[in-house]
Amino acid sequence: MDGAFHFSLSDFSFSFLSILLEGLPFLLLGTMIAGVIDQFLPVRLMARLLPRNAYAGVLVSGLLGILFPICECGVVPIIRRLMSKGLPPANAITYMLAAPIVNPIVAVSTFAAFRGQAPLEVTLLRLGLGYGLAVAVGFVVHNLPLRRVLRTEVIADIAQPQGLSGGAAAGGVANRLWGALAVCVGDFLNMTVYFVFGAAAAALFNTSVNQDFIVPLAMNDWLATTSLMTLAAMLSLCSTTDAFIAATFSMFPTIAKLAFLVFGPLISLKLVFLYSSIFRKRFVMGLAAGLFVAVCLLCLRLKVIGL
Amino acid sequence: MTSLFHRFLRAGVLAIWGGVLLTIYFTGRICAYLHPNFQPFTLVAGCLLVCFAFLVLIAPATANAHATARSSAWSVLTSLLLVAPLLLAFSNTLDSFGASTVANRVYVQDLAQLPSAQMPAATSPSGPIEGALPNDGSQTAQSANTAQDDKYLLPKNKLGQVQAQVVDFLYAAQLPEIRDQLENKPVEVIGQLMPAKTNNPKGNRFVVIRMMMTCCAADAQPIALPIEPQQKPDLPDMTWVRVTGKAAFPIEGGQRKPLIQNAALEKIDAPEDPYLY
């Protein structure tokens, strides 16, 4: 027991199951809402809500997740469809980055997970930083030529827009409900795979690694912040449940856990693959590097407020 | 045929997940895993998953078109990834942490490290304390008695020993009002026996720990109280013990630290709820 690593299958299983049991209901809730949105939300409703001024539109797009919450896995195919129906790419990207963080489900789950660990501050800062970064990326994208951002076939879709006449899925309410169920179940099964891996990694970390050995890492703000951001990218957790895993890193400072919570839903291994289906690879890599630096510096800066 | 296969596969995965959640809930094992506030969500999620499994089976073919777009091999692989770890974990856990995991975690021995602690002002003897102390799930020692006044009173057992929780000693190290009730007095406390990792120059100290849960077992932290037993205990690590002895609060390393001196240990059964919240 004196070594840096000691694995116990029983303890690992116990920790793994506890993380699953805690996070799974939130994941299920998120996928149920995603299914309803997919089938019942008319596309033109989102376009109607946006101001005509491009910058104001980006600012509002960053808040759409409050009305139309969706996690990072579900939002990528949706913004592609929205862009093909005329939504400006800057607005779509802002929504894509902000919605997995700036939404009520994530707010509730973050607050619940950080119970006893400054939950209000962590939740507000997570949502605030997520919104600010998404809007900043939206402004940048607005000033970039589309060919530097989007893949050729996506630009072709935008060049021949299908118009904003499309509504929700066709068919009666019963058909839409069946459709919502299919989306919900599909998303749930897809995302639970990632969640299982994330929970396993977190359980392994929590039970097997002697935390006395990582105290020096956790005690240094720079090392703690960058290491947890890297871990967030590797774990590719769903934003509805990642707070429950972040909250267990009790040795790490709050700013490092905040960086984990902000960076993970913006960029992760899983998302790099998903983003590459719409965006140019160079843009995705630039986005990842830029967000890594920005999140790290912003969170470290928050040390001045005593977080 | 492929459509039917995919339909049963998805329904099966959902049913297994729902079944595991409901089994853990209805067998009472849920208490070992989650804070009471989170336990009802497991019941709801389990019921929904079982319902969804049924609905997937009876859904029209168009509603399962998305699933059949994938190859059978891929679907089987992802289903295994979803089900196998869950069932392996479900059947391989003892529903509690062993000594190695507790030893791997940093012992909380200072009020400032306590997740839910509200550090009261040192000069304020009463107000802030009420409600700041964590609940004891075991209900074996109802520490708080604040109904009649704002003073935090610790109860006594039949032998006149002050019954306190491990966490009470952390507060007592900071608050003279609580310390007065414990210092140099016979006390009784229950917890799990573990070796002391720090502040043990003579090698005669152990700690009794209680796990404090914030949300789930994964985030539970050991709250540790150092003890100096009358004789070296011949008990395995993590044994539940009742400790009686004299409470002291020596200054060590520039800080006031709680300690039970001349401690007698008695092996006991685990309390119904082993956690502090």
The torsion angle over the Cα atoms of residues B16, A274, A232 and A108, rounded to 10 degrees, is -60
A-chain residues near B200 (CB < 8 A):
none
DSSP secondary structure of A198-267:
HHHHHHHHHHHB-HHHHHHHHHSHHHHHHHHHHHHHHH---TTTHHHHHTT-TTS-HHHHHHHHHHHHHS
Judged against a pLDDT cut of 50, whether residue B132 lies above it is answered with no
Whether B183 and B246 map to the same domain: the answer is: yes
Instruction: Please indicate whether, in this complex, the C-beta atoms of A16 and B215 are within 8 angstroms of each other.
Output: no
User: DSSP secondary-structure letter at B161?
Assistant: P
Mean pLDDT of B82-86: 97
Q: Which residue is closest to B44 within chain A, CA to CA?
A: A25
Domain count, chain B: 2
Whether B80 and B146 map to the same domain: the answer is: no
B153 against B152, higher pLDDT: B153
Whether B130 and B256 map to the same domain: the answer is: yes
Reported confidence tier of residue A211, pLDDT bands at 50, 70, 90: confident
Residues in B 200-239 with any Cβ partner in A closer than 8 A: 214-219, 221
pLDDT score of B148: 43
How many angstroms away from the CA of A247 is the closest CA of chain B? 7
Structural domain boundaries, residue B133: 99-267
- Give the Cβ contact number of residue B267 at 10 Å: 12
- Nearest-CB residue to B215 (from A1, A178, A244): A244
Reported confidence tier of residue B1, pLDDT bands at 50, 70, 90: low
Question: Are A223 and A259 spatial neighbours (Cβ–Cβ below 8 Å)?
Answer: no
Mean pLDDT of A186-190: 86
Whether B71 and B173 map to the same domain: the answer is: no
Element (H, E) at B252: strand B251-252
Q: Is B132 helix (H, G, I), strand (E, B) or coil?
A: coil
Give burial (CB, 10 Å; 0-12/13-18/19+) of B253: exposed
Whether B39 and B164 map to the same domain: the answer is: no
Whether B9 and B109 map to the same domain: the answer is: no
Distance, first Cα to last Cα, chain B: 52
Phi, psi angles (nearest 5°) of residue B188: -135, 135
pLDDT score of B153: 87
B34 against B151, higher pLDDT: B34
Structure tokens at B20: 């595991």
A-chain residues near B115 (CB < 8 A):
116-117, 250
Q: Is residue B274 part of a domain?
A: no
Question: Are B277 and B134 spatial neighbours (Cβ–Cβ below 8 Å)?
Answer: yes
Question: Are A146 and A89 spatial neighbours (Cβ–Cβ below 8 Å)?
Answer: yes
Distance of CA B211 to the CA centre of its chain: 4
pLDDT score of A251: 78
Most confident of A64-73, A182-191, A196-205, A291-300: A291-300
B-chain residues near A12 (CB < 8 A):
89
Whether B151 and B108 map to the same domain: the answer is: yes
Q: Which residue is closest to B58 within chain A, CA to CA?
A: A178
The 3-state DSSP composition of chain A as helix, strand, coil percent (nearest 5) reads 75, 0, 25
B201 against A149, higher pLDDT: A149
Judged against a pLDDT cut of 70, whether residue A258 lies above it is answered with yes
Question: How far apart are alpha carbons A182 and B28 in whole angstroms?
Answer: 32
Q: Where are the domains of chain A?
A: 9-305
Question: Are B212 and B220 spatial neighbours (Cβ–Cβ below 8 Å)?
Answer: yes
Q: Is residue B161 part of a domain?
A: yes
A-chain residues near B103 (CB < 8 A):
1, 6, 210
Mean pLDDT, chain A, rounded, equals 87
Judged against a pLDDT cut of 90, whether residue B193 lies above it is answered with yes
Mean pLDDT of A202-227: 86
Residue with tokens 């001045």: A304
Q: Is residue B157 part of a domain?
A: yes
Element (H, E) at A58: helix A54-61
Question: Are A43 and A167 spatial neighbours (Cβ–Cβ below 8 Å)?
Answer: yes
Q: Is residue B109 part of a domain?
A: yes
User: DSSP secondary-structure letter at A292?
Assistant: H
The 3-state DSSP composition of chain B as helix, strand, coil percent (nearest 5) reads 40, 20, 40
Judged against a pLDDT cut of 60, whether residue B118 lies above it is answered with no
Whether B138 and B243 map to the same domain: the answer is: yes
Q: Where are the alpha helices (DSSP H) in chain B?
A: 2-26, 30-33, 39-58, 65-68, 72-92, 99-104, 166-174, 176-182
Whether B86 and B117 map to the same domain: the answer is: no
Judged against a pLDDT cut of 50, whether residue A286 lies above it is answered with yes
Judged against a pLDDT cut of 50, whether residue B141 lies above it is answered with no
Tell whether B29 lies on the interface with A, counting CB pairs under 8 A: no
Instruction: Please indicate whether, in this complex, the C-beta atoms of B30 and A192 are within 8 angstroms of each other.
Output: no
Reported confidence tier of residue B65, pLDDT bands at 50, 70, 90: low
- Nearest-CB residue to A182 (from B42, B63, B94): B63
- Residue-level length of chain A: 307
Q: Which residue is closest to A21 within chain B, CA to CA?
A: B42
Question: Are A210 and A4 spatial neighbours (Cβ–Cβ below 8 Å)?
Answer: yes
Question: How far apart are alpha carbons B223 and B211 in whole angstroms?
Answer: 6
Reported confidence tier of residue A163, pLDDT bands at 50, 70, 90: very low
Q: Is residue B276 part of a domain?
A: no
Reported confidence tier of residue B66, pLDDT bands at 50, 70, 90: low
Name the β-bridge partners of B276: B136, B212
Helices A72-84 + A152-159 axis angle, to 10: 50
Whether B238 and B103 map to the same domain: the answer is: yes
Q: Is B163 helix (H, G, I), strand (E, B) or coil?
A: strand
Instruction: Please indicate whether, in this complex, the C-beta atoms of A17 and B97 are within 8 angstroms of each other.
Output: no
Element (H, E) at A269: helix A269-275
pLDDT score of B121: 41
The complex scores an ipTM of: 0.88
Range from A123-132, A230-239, B102-111, B227-236 carrying the lowest mean pLDDT: A230-239
Question: What CATH number has the domain bearing residue B166?
Answer: 2.40.50.140
Condensed to tens digits (0 to 9), the pLDDT of residues A65-106 reads: 998 887 777 788 788 777 877 788 999 999 999 999 999 999
- Nearest-CB residue to A10 (from B85, B86, B92): B92
Residues in B 115-134 with any Cβ partner in A closer than 8 A: 115-116
- Residue-level length of chain B: 277
Q: Which of B48, B76, B92 is the last residue of a domain?
A: B92
Judged against a pLDDT cut of 80, whether residue B137 lies above it is answered with no
User: DSSP secondary-structure letter at A5?
Assistant: B
Whether B80 and B215 map to the same domain: the answer is: no
Residue with tokens 């969640």: A195
Instruction: Please indicate whether, in this complex, the C-beta atoms of A16 and B85 are within 8 angstroms of each other.
Output: yes
Question: How far apart are alpha carbons A222 and A249 in whole angstroms?
Answer: 16
- Give the Cβ contact number of residue B159 at 10 Å: 8
Tell whether B57 lies on the interface with A, counting CB pairs under 8 A: no
How many angstroms away from the CA of A61 is the closest CA of chain B? 29
Question: How far apart are alpha carbons A164 and A142 in whole angstroms?
Answer: 20
Instruction: Please indicate whether, in this complex, the C-beta atoms of A25 and B42 are within 8 angstroms of each other.
Output: yes
- Nearest-CB residue to A196 (from B45, B82, B214): B82
Range from A106-110, A117-121, B81-85, B108-112 carrying the lowest mean pLDDT: B108-112
Whether B46 and B174 map to the same domain: the answer is: no
Instruction: Please indicate whether, in this complex, the C-beta atoms of A250 and B101 are within 8 angstroms of each other.
Output: no
pLDDT score of B134: 53
Structure tokens at B23: 């089994």
Name the β-bridge partners of B256: B251
How many angstroms away from the CA of A294 is the closest CA of chain B? 29
